[in-house]
Amino acid sequence: MTVNPDEDWNFYWASVTTVRSIFNPSNDHPRLTDNQVINHFPNHYELTRKDLMVKNIKRYRRELEKDGNLLAEKDDYGSYKYLDFIPVTYMMPADYNLFADDFRRDPNHTWIMKPAGRAQGKGIFLINKMSQIKKWSRDGKSVPSAAQPRETYVISKYIDNPLLIGGKKFDLRLYVLVTSFKPLKCYLYRLGFGRFCTVKYIPSTNDIDNMFVHLTNVSYQKQSEDYNSIHGGKWSIDNLRLYLEGTRGKKLTDRLFDEISWIIVHSLRAAAAVITSDRHCFECYGYDIIIDDNLKPWLIEVNASPSLTSTTANDRIMKFKLINDILNIVVPNGDIPDIRTKFSNSSSSPEVLGNFDVLYDEDQALCELNDKDFREQKARGGIVPLISKTGMPFGKTKQSSAWR
């Protein structure tokens, strides 16, 4: 759809395709006015395409490491101590040799192949033999041409020890609103949920073709004959949290949710270096997180257009609230937006935040670090000040307010 941004609108909830067209410099669109806000950043795909997200997080870690930043410290096995939150991932076919080396070192591990730019579980498959990837490589060779180049895939280490509830695998769908990347300001929604598989998880090598066991996407699970349309295979974060506190204890549960906040903030910081922080833009991302049975969270993917369709009555209420709460933050009081004072007036008061909590506000984080703390941190190796409003480093020592 082509849209003339000069039309009479102030707030646009657009598809990613429309946004691409609006920000495409070769299109003949007039510039957006100061009174127009839109729901995607121009190059959001730096975070929301699977391959680019991984590339940017890897670059972010490398840069911190080069700066001698303590955040990029590694353990004795060479893994990042604090920033090891994405499964080992390679681009295919570009990184084929690197992947092959890794595969040979640990030939019993299962890997998951995913087309970089698709969604809803489409085109995903699991492999645990080198012959399977060779076959994929051979089959693809006949297809690509200059006009239709080969689709990029990512291949990631499969998290084969997911935390199970009732014997089933699940992941978390969390909503994160970003109103600015530079400085970074982001909000976390309290009403996320767990999305469960319909079939019990059996970590057997024979079962790698049954995607009802392995993929938690609702769009996929809906096709299963075991799909329950009353609860839709979803469980609220509050209930999940209660369950985890009951089974694993409060301390470990708090730490898990702190680590999830940590992952979100650092993935956004990684993207902030390359995303155009256009002041007309805000974006609500759908974060997909898998928790393993050691209660370690892993970032699987960030979606630019998380589904707003509802599968159950509760879902409909939650999504209604989500849209309402986003609107209250980005268009406070229903006033005409003005990007010169973008979302600045009231966007942190509880009435405006609704079910959102400010997760990270770079402006505030920097201001609230007093000189002494800052100098001490610098002296300890130039650590980037990533400090919550309470003065505590995010995710490491105190439960962030977003989950209370």
Ligand X SMILES: Nc1ncnc2c1ncn2[C@@H]1O[C@H](COP(=O)(O)OP(=O)(O)OP(=O)(O)O)[C@@H](O)[C@H]1O
Task: Choose, by CB under 6 A, the member of 163, 300, 326, 330 that binds ligand X.
Answer: 300
Q: Give φ, ψ of 304 to 5 degrees.
A: -80, -30
Q: Is residue 290 at the binding interface for ligand X, with CB under 6 A as the rule?
A: yes
Minimum separation from the CB atom of position 178 to ligand X (A): 18
Residue 303 sits in the site that holds ligand X (CB under 6 A): yes
Q: Which is nearer to ligand X, 121 or 385 (CB)?
A: 121
| Near ligand X in 209-238, by CB under 6 A | 215-217
For the residues of 197-232, what is the DSSP string, one character each?
-SS-----GGGTT-HHHH---HHHHTTSTT--TTTT
Q: Tell whether residue 156 is a contact of ligand X (CB under 6 A).
A: yes
- Sketch the per residue contact string, 121 through 140, with ligand X: x for CB under 6 A, - otherwise: xx-x----------------
Decide if residue 180 touches ligand X (CB under 6 A). Answer: no
Residues from 47 through 66 that contact ligand X (CB under 6 A) = 50
Residue 11's DSSP bridge partners are 37
- Which position among 79, 120, 324, 344 is part of the footprint of ligand X (CB under 6 A)? 120
Of the pair 45, 343, the CB lying nearest ligand X is at 45
Q: Given candidates 45, 99, 158, 201, which one binds ligand X under the rule CB under 6 A?
A: 158
35 binds ligand X (CB under 6 A): no
Q: Which two tokens stand for residue 49?
A: 């395409």
| 196 vs 282 by CB, closer to ligand X | 196
H or E segment to which residue 185 belongs: strand 184-189
Strands (E) across 229-275 are located at 234-236
Is residue 258 part of the contact set for ligand X (CB under 6 A)? no
Interface with ligand X (CB under 6 A), residue from 22, 159, 172, 178:
159
| Minimum distance of ligand X from residue 215's CB (angstroms) | 4
For CA atoms 54, 59, 65, 70, give the dihedral sign.
Answer: negative
Q: How far is the C-alpha of 356 from the C-alpha of 337, rounded, in Å? A: 20
Question: Beta strands 168-181 and 193-196: pairing type?
Answer: antiparallel
CB of 381 to ligand X, least distance (A): 31
Bridge partners, 169 (sequence order): 164
User: Can residue 114 be called a binding residue for ligand X (CB under 6 A)?
Assistant: yes
Q: Is the peptide bond before 385 cis (omega within 30 degrees of 0)?
A: no
Which is closer to ligand X, CB of 161 or CB of 370?
Answer: 161
Nearest alpha-carbon partner for 157 in 110, 204, 125, 201: 110
Tokens 């280490």 -> residue = 157
Q: In the structure encoding, which two tokens stand for residue 320, read together?
A: 């209604």
Within 183-212, which residues bind ligand X (CB under 6 A)? none
- DSSP alpha helix (H) spans, 273-330: 313-330
Q: Is 117 in the site for ligand X (CB under 6 A)?
A: no
Instruction: Give the nearer residue to ligand X in terms of CB position, either 120 or 370.
Output: 120
Q: Which two tokens stand for residue 165?
A: 């509830």
Binding flag, residue 269, ligand X (CB under 6 A)? no
Min. distance of Cβ 221 from ligand X in angstroms? 10
Q: Which residues in 93-136 belong to E strands, given as ranges?
A: 111-115, 125-127
C-alpha to C-alpha distance for 389 and 392, rounded to whole angstroms:
7
- Among 254, 259, 301, 362, the residue binding ligand X under the rule CB under 6 A is 301
Residue with tokens 């991984």, as numbered in its chain: 54
- Residue 199 Cβ vs ligand X, minimum distance, rounded to whole Å: 13
Binding site for ligand X (CB under 6 A): 50, 87, 112, 114, 118-122, 124, 156, 158-159, 171, 215-217, 288, 290, 300-301, 303
